[in-house]
Amino acid sequence: MIVDARVLQPEFVPKEVKHRSNKMDILTNALEPVTDGDSGETAMIFGPSGVGKTCISRFVLERLRENAIDIETQYVNAWEDHSRFKLLYRILEGVGKTLDIHRQSTPTDELLERLRNYENGQYVVIIDEVDQLEDKSVLYDLYHIQNLTMVLIGNREEELFSGLDDRLASRLTSCSRIRFEPYSQDGLEAILQDRVRWGLRPETITDDQIATIADAAAGDARKAIGILRQAAKAAHRGQEERITDDIIDEAIPEAASEIRQQSLSKLTQDQRIIYEIIVEEDAIAPKDLYEEYTEQAEQPVSKRMVRNHLDKMQHYNLIEAKGATRDRTYSPSG
Partner DNA sequence: TGTCCACGGGAAAGAAAGGTGG
Partner DNA sequence: CCACCTTTCTTTCCCGTGGACA
Find the binder of DNA among 283, 308, 317, 334 (CB under 7 A): 308
Give helix 21-31 / helix 53-67 axis angle, nearest 10°: 50
Binding to DNA, residues 261-290 (CB under 7 A):
268, 285-287, 290
305 binds DNA (CB under 7 A): yes
Dmax (CA) for the chain in angstroms is 64
At its nearest, how many Å lie between DNA and the CB of residue 268?
7
99 binds DNA (CB under 7 A): no
98 binds DNA (CB under 7 A): no
Please, which residue, 82 or 171, has the CB nearer to DNA?
82
Read off the amino acid at residue 178: I
Find the binder of DNA among 42, 54, 73, 108 (CB under 7 A): 108
Triad 164, 169, 173: Cα angle to 5°: 145
Distance in angstroms (rounded) separating the CA atoms of residues 167 and 187: 39
22 binds DNA (CB under 7 A): no
Find the binder of DNA among 36, 69, 102, 174 (CB under 7 A): 102
**Helical (H) or strand (E) element with 148:** strand 148-154
21's torsion region: left (phi>0), alpha (psi -120 to 50) or beta? alpha
β-strand partners of 150: 125
Distance in angstroms (rounded) separating the CA atoms of residues 209 and 173: 44
105 binds DNA (CB under 7 A): yes
104 binds DNA (CB under 7 A): yes
Helix (H, G, I), strand (E, B) or coil at 334: coil
At its nearest, how many Å lie between DNA and the CB of residue 292?
12
Q: Rule CB under 7 A: which residues touch DNA?
A: 83, 85-86, 102-105, 107-108, 268, 285-287, 290, 301-305, 307-308, 310-311, 321, 324-328
